[in-house]
A and B are shown apart, each in its own frame.
Chain A
Amino acid sequence: MNRLTLAVAGGRKTQSIVDACQQRDAHKRVLVLTYTLRNQDELRSRLARQTLASGGIEVMGWFTFLLNHWVRPYLKLAFPGRRLTGFLYDGDPGHIAGEARFLDREGRAYRRHLSKLSTEVLSASKGAVLDRLSKIYSAIYVDEVQDLNGFDLVVLEHLMRSPIELHMVGDVRQALLDTNVADQKYKQYRGPQIKRWFDLQEKAGLLSIEHNEQCWRSNQQIMDLADSVFPTDWGFQATKSMNTAPVGHDGVFVVRTTHAAAYYDRFEPLCLRHSRSTARDLELPFHNIGEVKGVGTDHVLIAPTGPSLKFLNGADELTDRSRCSLYVAITRARYSVAFVTDKDVAGLDVWEPAA
């Protein structure tokens, strides 16, 4: 049976894949897929550290998977005489139909239509792509599955119907990255709405969804705030924090801009902003929120957007995307989250440097 584990931030999602790989039958070959390079490196090093017999485990990026296992072996069945020679990460073929939509003259595949190309090759091969894959791998793990969208989901649908066991792990509240912004397929399931697509698959009997509400990173105060970012009609359960050891600066705070430098010197928080255009007047080593997925740190300082501030004050006008962004930012912290702003925020303590 195919499984999806929806876990919260700090829910040890990646670790659950490493554990599953360790516990597999030694003769079974498994493939671990994930979208970001950093996550691939992380998985590889954890597997190398914890699994002595890692012979049957392969870690691969999502694009490499599509290129080498879907497109390359059977491309000429879809487009006679063509060979795959490379990958164009940024290229855009424009609005053309047919072969030129997927491949440039030299035979390099465009990233933006790669998953669509994969499904075209699958049907041209009359299913041979999946037959081949299922003879190579008995199970495929997908980490950070919420990063997939559009035709990637069609690829997942095919995998779920194949003899391969598909295990997916992710957190839809962290659906910040898109493998493919130009893809019009399944537009309604973009971002955190991917949860509705998962629910449909479960209803169709293709998938069983498990929820894991335990958080091993952030303390309860932080997780309560994070939970509130998604209103109850999304259907998420309350998170239970397993981090109960205080360090002396725990919880959620407001920091005035005049004290930001002092706060930074005192706690060395990870400084986050929505994008480069936010908090331009502050001299702090900011990171964009999209870059820090998977990161855990003791303290976080966030430069909030206008809608985020309103949200903190009880007026919820957040878009799906800003919800994810705010959720990711908050859940990086183990002990404390501070919002740097000169506006008042109801119910939060304002941090003052010691006199």
Chain B
Amino acid sequence: MISRIIIRGYRRFRSLDIEPIQGMNIVVGDNESGKSTLLEAIALALTNKVNGRWTRDELNPFWFNVDAVREFFEKYGTSEQVAPPTIRIELFLSGDSPDLQQLRGVYNSRHEDDCPGVVLTIEPDDEFESEFEEYLASDPPRILPVEYYRVQWRSFADQELGRQPRALSCAYIDSRTIRSTSGVDHHTREMLSEYLDSKERAQVSVAHRRSKQQITSHTLTGINQRISQDNPDLHDRDIGIQMDQSSRTSWETGVIPQVEGIPFSMAGQGQQAAIKVALAMSRTVDRSPFVLIEEPENHLSHTSLSRLAARIRDLAGEDQQMFVATHSSFVLNRLGLDRLLLLHNGDTMKLTDLDDSTVEYFQKLAGYDTLRIALASKVVFVEGPSDELIFQRAFRDAKHMDPVDAGIDVIAMGGLTAKRALKLCAALGRRAVVLQDNDGLSVDEVREPVEQLLEAGKREMRVSDPTNGPTLEPQLIAANSEATLRSVLGLRQDANVEKWMTREKTEAALRILKSQESIAYPAYITEAIDLVA
């Protein structure tokens, strides 16, 4: 199994060091937190291949960490010049099998570790040192000339790996995209390499790249301006188009080899996600020690997803290690919360110390939006939808913004108990405040079952004052007056305010949320706002 992953300089990971667990790992994170990138990086180091072709043939300047590339070009030629960006992906493995032990040694970035492993590095090729220098001196576009880079794939025994070792075989299942593999292939490359030497090819490639960059910086500039003017709300970052600079679209793709008039090209086949996952998993269950699954929830109905989740769980043998990247709380809950590997603000987190009963609890409550808790930075738990609405208005009144803009997620617990919610937050290290009705009990009686889980400044609980009534509605009446609420709610003079509110909970809360009149809030709510804001 992979016991540690160290990634440096690959895409959004300037530096990442995580320790996955045996069996299933569920990779979860915000959009763009690097879930897919993590899976890609694992596959890259396991296979040295991208879309079925060797890494060096698919090298793409945009694999390099953007910040590192920017820093390099900004500082180049100044007194603070830094070394060219590099990529390094290390997989630390454990296991006593002969195949794995072949890969054992101390050539990894943690010098004290003597274990099996592989490392893939992408760094400037010494042989092209002077060409690289020339490129940089010619006021180039700020894109790394990857044709002057080399890919090395070695075991921790410092042995260059030619073929993929059996111990590293992996199944990569990506149901998001249909892969098109037209264009340059093995045959093209062989034919071309007979006519051109590597330096000639690199020269042509640089020229080609430069011309494409020109299209981007001249022809496309106007178009990009129009796009960003047309759609300012589309995304919080600038969106535009540019010429594809990866080697895949290099000059060689303009050339298609043929034999007796028939072209070598493979057509991408769209397939149903479930069939893909199921086929790939049952095919590889005896031979691939590693399975990578990208967003299995895609294109699936709820029931198919349920079946698929069960299948993934069944097939996940003890000898196999799986990495499942998902957006779906359902997948996460079903496969087991303790399997969570959270990528969050460049940090990673695991839930391995979550107790079994909590894991089981969420497996049964699989529809619960656990991911929301996992991905929030601060959480306020309220009892139900009406409490949620009232809290929102109270927060807006106090802070003049919505909770969500203050990084606070207000979550109605619904069927979830305060105890489970707090346990999960404790395991995740999330700041949380739980608001509870007293339901006729004393404050101490309500707090008693979760007292152990509370910690000032981290996890707190506020309970409504029993003298002001058991639930939200009488609490609101006590904080204001019947007359105020009657007016806010637009009720007739003869209507019983408490009775109406209790019967029409959500409607009442909605009317309060929309009302322009000012109202007061029970102390437990205002205290909670101060705690969390």
Interface residues, chain A, with chain B CB atoms under 8 Å away: 29, 68, 72-77, 83-84, 125, 128, 132, 135-137
Contact = CB atoms under 8 A, between A and B. Distances in A.
B98 A73 contact: no
A251 B199 CA distance: 66
Contacts of B158: 72-73, 75, 83-84
A203 B159 CA distance: 39
A19 B506 CA distance: 84
The list of the 7 closest CB pairs from A to B, nearest first, reads A73-B105, A73-B157, A135-B101, A136-B98, A136-B101, A29-B98, A132-B104
B74 interface: no
B107 to A, nearest CB: 7
Contacts of A75: 158
B245 interface: no
Contact of B157 (A29, A68, A77): A68
B101 A68 contact: no
30 contacts: A68-B157, A72-B105, A72-B157, A72-B158, A73-B104, A73-B105, A73-B107, A73-B156, A73-B157, A73-B158, A73-B159, A74-B105, A74-B114, A75-B158, A76-B106, A76-B107, A76-B111, A77-B106, A83-B107, A83-B158, A84-B158, A125-B114, A128-B106, A132-B101, A135-B96, A135-B98, A135-B104, A136-B98, A136-B102, A137-B98
Interface residues of B, number: 15
Given A29-B98, A73-B104, 17 more contacts: A68-B159, A73-B105, A73-B106, A73-B156, A73-B157, A73-B159, A75-B158, A76-B107, A83-B158, A84-B158, A125-B106, A125-B114, A128-B114, A132-B101, A135-B97, A135-B98, A136-B101
A76 B106 CA distance: 8
Contacts of B159: 68, 72-73
| Residue in A76, A125, A135 whose Cβ sees the most chain B Cβ within 10 Å | A135
A83 B97 CA distance: 25
Interface in B71-121: 96-98, 101-102, 104-107, 111, 114
A140 to B, nearest CB: 13
A109 to B, nearest CB: 13
Contacts of B111: 76
A125 B96 CA distance: 18
Contacts of B101: 132, 135-136
B168 to A, nearest CB: 16
Contacts of B97: 135
Contacts of A84: 158
Interface string B125-160: 000000000000000000000000000000011110
A72 B161 CA distance: 14
Interface of B: 96-98, 101-102, 104-107, 111, 114, 156-159
The secondary structure that dominates the B interface is loop
A73 B114 CA distance: 9
A125 B104 CA distance: 12
B522 to A, nearest CB: 66
Nearest to A56: B98
Contacts of A74: 105-106, 114
A83 B106 CA distance: 11
B103 to A, nearest CB: 9
A135 B98 CA distance: 6
B169 to A, nearest CB: 15
A132 B95 CA distance: 11
B118 to A, nearest CB: 13
A83 B157 CA distance: 10
B455 to A, nearest CB: 44
A135 B103 CA distance: 11
Contacts of A72: 105, 157-159
B364 to A, nearest CB: 43
B494 to A, nearest CB: 87
Contacts of A125: 106, 114
A332 to B, nearest CB: 39
A224 B324 CA distance: 74
A94 B158 CA distance: 27
A114 B505 CA distance: 84
A223 B159 CA distance: 47
A77 B159 CA distance: 16
A75 B158 CA distance: 9
A128 B107 CA distance: 13
A74 B159 CA distance: 11
A102 to B, nearest CB: 16
B121 to A, nearest CB: 13
| Residue in A68, A73, A75, A84 whose Cβ sees the most chain B Cβ within 10 Å | A73
A132 B102 CA distance: 8
Contacts of A135: 96-98, 101, 104
A334 to B, nearest CB: 41
Nearest to B156: A73
B446 to A, nearest CB: 58
A137 B102 CA distance: 10
A83 B104 CA distance: 15
B123 to A, nearest CB: 14
A208 to B, nearest CB: 26
Contacts of B98: 29, 135-137
A84 B106 CA distance: 13
A173 to B, nearest CB: 36
A60 to B, nearest CB: 12
Contacts of B107: 73, 76, 83
A68 to B, nearest CB: 6
A72 B158 CA distance: 6
Contacts of A77: 106
Nearest to A84: B158
Contacts of A68: 157, 159
B163 to A, nearest CB: 15
Contacts of A132: 101, 104-105
A101 to B, nearest CB: 20
B98 to A, nearest CB: 4
Nearest to B116: A132
A128 B114 CA distance: 8
B285 to A, nearest CB: 20
| Residue in B96, B98, B111, B156 whose Cβ sees the most chain A Cβ within 10 Å | B98
A75 B159 CA distance: 12
A125 B157 CA distance: 13
Contacts of B106: 73-74, 76-77, 125, 128
B66 to A, nearest CB: 31
A43 B158 CA distance: 28
Contacts of A136: 98, 101-102
Contacts of B105: 72-74, 132
B101 to A, nearest CB: 4
A313 B448 CA distance: 109
B346 to A, nearest CB: 31
Contacts of A137: 98
A208 B47 CA distance: 45
